[in-house]
Amino acid sequence: NQDEEKLTEYMDELEFLAFTAGATVQKRFTQKLTQPDSKTFIGSGKAQEIKEYVKEHEIGTVIFDDELSPSQLKNLEREIEIKILDRTNLILDIFAQRAQTSYARTQVELAQYQYLLPRLTRMWTHLERQKGGIGMRGPGETEIETDRRIIRDRISLLKDKLKTIDKQMATQRNNRGKVVRAALVGYTNVGKSTLMNALSKSEVFAENKLFATLDTTVRKVVIGNLPFLLTDTVGFIRKLPTQLVESFKSTLDEVREADLLIHVVDISHESFEDHIESVNHTLMEINAHQKPMIMVFNKIDDFSYEKKDEDDLTPATRKNISLEEWKKTWMGKSKYPTVFISALTKENFPEMKKMIYDEVMKIHISRFPYND
């Protein structure tokens, strides 16, 4: 069943996100509803089921795969009596943990405050409830208002700070002059940093977690005497919190201003086609979809498929397709130069390098048409 498969994929990804944030997942709960409950997102029976499980197994947190409205969050915490994280909060947390530069930290802080602002009352009600005892009055509306004002001030301060850094970065980009700029784009964890390392011989942090790359890194790369700049950008991910889409604008500026996009795909991942779509969607949104692009299908060393027996009459699914067969599908007909590599074993590197060289050269020549 296709729906079930999708659901498992989404839950796998959520579990991976949780793992990246430092949590271990004990149990998954799913529910089919024609539309989410406006008050509690899930139905009350399901909430009860979760509550019982959580009590029995001493669970610390319940994570939801969607962004919950402030009131849904509040109602659910009251009902299940446990700390609740939604997907947005989880992703913000990961970004916060991993922000390396002051720019990234500022962006994350801004996004966190934007997330927090409409949810402030929730925190206060909690405090009130925890204090409990007679004569311990909880903070009143005025205090919440004061708090909101402080946060709003902080938000505008952070926005100003970002504007200043944005300008500095734009100047830096201008100063890079006429050197051709290529940007690695691709879903998170597909191997962009690994490829960057392999091409530039530098050490960029690479690990098997989501969003290992938070900050943009720019390296000079030389292929066959032809120098160009290579940018490693933040991973794209499905359902990226809107607060982050907005605040990570500058990361995407690198992509927007690149001359060539190198779109890296993890072909060993079962939903790699969805990943491609989600990246293309973002590229469209920032109006970078018409740039020259190279498709790099990575991790061929890890590619596997279930070969069907000759007499197996069940219809072939995506799981039965070999790499050679994939190449005959839309992949082979792509309007972009396409290459299959392993960033780990460096298989097909010469072919990829030649491809990048050719594309960079084309751009170079279009800029300096009279140079021989």
CB atoms within 10 A of CB 342: 22
Rounded Cα gap, residues 139 and 186, in angstroms: 47
DSSP H helix total and E strand total for the chain: 13, 8
Q: Which is nearer to ligand GDP, 75 or 282 (CB)?
A: 282
**Cβ of residue 197: shortest distance to ligand GDP, in angstroms?**
8
Please report the sign of the dihedral spanned by the C-alpha atoms of residue 12, residue 5, residue 194, residue 320.
positive
Rounded Cα gap, residues 109 and 128, in angstroms: 26
328 φ, ψ (degrees, to nearest 5): -90, -5
**Considering only residues 18, 190, 230, 258, which one is a binding residue for ligand GDP as defined by CB under 6 A?**
190
Binding part of the chain for ligand GDP, among 54-62, 83-91, 286-294, 341-349 by CB under 6 A, reads 341-349
87 binds ligand GDP (CB under 6 A): no
Binding part of the chain for ligand GDP, among 8-16, 162-170, 192-200, 249-257 by CB under 6 A, reads 192-200
Q: Mask 283-322, x = binds ligand GDP (CB under 6 A)?
A: ---------------xx-xx--------------------
Q: Could you tell me the two tokens for 90? A: 């989880």
Which among 126, 153, 151 has a CA at the least distance from the CA of 138?
A: 126
Q: Could you tell me the two tokens for 354? A: 């030649």
343 binds ligand GDP (CB under 6 A): yes
189 binds ligand GDP (CB under 6 A): yes
Q: Which is nearer to ligand GDP, 25 or 204 (CB)?
A: 204
Binding part of the chain for ligand GDP, among 40-48, 184-192, 312-320, 322-330 by CB under 6 A, reads 184-192
Instruction: Give SS3 for 186.
Output: strand
Residues 230-259 that bind ligand GDP (CB under 6 A): 235
Task: Give the side-chain half-sphere CA count within 13 A for 23.
Answer: 19
Cβ atoms of 14 and 63 closer than 8 Å: yes
Rounded Cα gap, residues 219 and 47, in angstroms: 50
Q: Mask 205-224, x = binds ligand GDP (CB under 6 A)?
A: -xxx---xx-----------
Residue 247, burial from CB neighbour count under 10 angstroms (0-12, 13-18, 19+):
buried
153 binds ligand GDP (CB under 6 A): no
Q: Which is nearer to ligand GDP, 41 or 187 (CB)?
A: 187
Binding part of the chain for ligand GDP, among 72-80, 83-91, 126-134, 181-189 by CB under 6 A, reads 181-189
Chain residues in the site for ligand GDP (CB under 6 A): 186, 188-194, 206-208, 212-213, 235, 298-299, 301-302, 342-344
